[in-house]
Amino acid sequence: MNGRIKMVIAGCVIAASSSVITSTVMSQPEAGDMEEMMKVWMELAQPGEVHKGLAQSVGHWKQSYTSWDFPGAEPVKSKGSSEMKMILGGRFLQEDVNATFNMMGQETPMQGRGIFGFDRMRNKHVFTWMDTFGTMMMHGEGDASDDGKVVTYMTEMPSPQGDMMDMKMVWRHVSDNKHVVEMHIDMDGEWFKNMEIVSTR
């Protein structure tokens, strides 16, 4: 490689570097823009109207569960209870569940914890769930109906075969003292309702 070619390459490298540095500097927000961004961030960090709706579920609930192992199977009935409270300054609803499920003919205790919230940044309902029936955590997000009485969450759950199953959780506000949750699994493109939870207080 002769000296002229080296000089041309070096010049291109310097020019490209200069362009990147200039672009980075030019793209930095102004102080006024940063203040406005922080103002919006702090506003969206506060609980809103949807969070007030979540707070209406605070309290003790009795729960009845109906589950189906496969399409057409006989329903299996179980019972439990749920304690709900708002945490982190009214930003999230925490649910603690104690129940006993009929697992293959054997009564099996279960403890579970869910965290439900509303992400004002993305305008999405969100949740995380974990329980003593597994070592995984479920995460999902969804949207509410226009009247806010139905929230449909989408999530995934690992199967024993190692693949992921699409799941849909539909929460329905029946009254201030009753709500119903339906769990659906995608089976070959068809939604199969494998569980229904009725909560009353």
pLDDT in tens, 9-59: 334 433 444 444 344 444 566 767 888 889 888 999 999 999 999 999 999
The gap between the terminal CA atoms of the chain, to the nearest Å, is 83
H or E segment to which residue 36 belongs: helix 31-44
Instruction: Supply the pLDDT for residue 63.
Output: 98
Listed by start position, the domains of the chain span: 3-44, 49-200
Instruction: Supply the pLDDT for residue 106.
Output: 86
How are beta strands 76-87 and 92-103 bridged, if at all?
Answer: antiparallel
Render pLDDT for 111-163 as a digit per residue (tens, 0 to 9).
999 999 999 999 999 999 999 999 999 999 999 999 999 999 999 988 777 78
**pLDDT tier at 65 (50, 70, 90 boundaries)?**
very high
What is the Cα Rg of the chain in Å? Answer: 25
67 closest CA partner among 58, 59, 57, 79: 79
Instruction: Supply the pLDDT for residue 166.
Output: 94
Distance from C-alpha of 98 to C-alpha of 130, rounded to nearest angstrom: 12
Mean pLDDT of 169-194: 96
Provide the residue type at 108 as one letter: T
pLDDT of 5 strictly over 50:
no
Superfamily of structural domain 49-200: Calycin beta-barrel core domain (2.40.128.20)
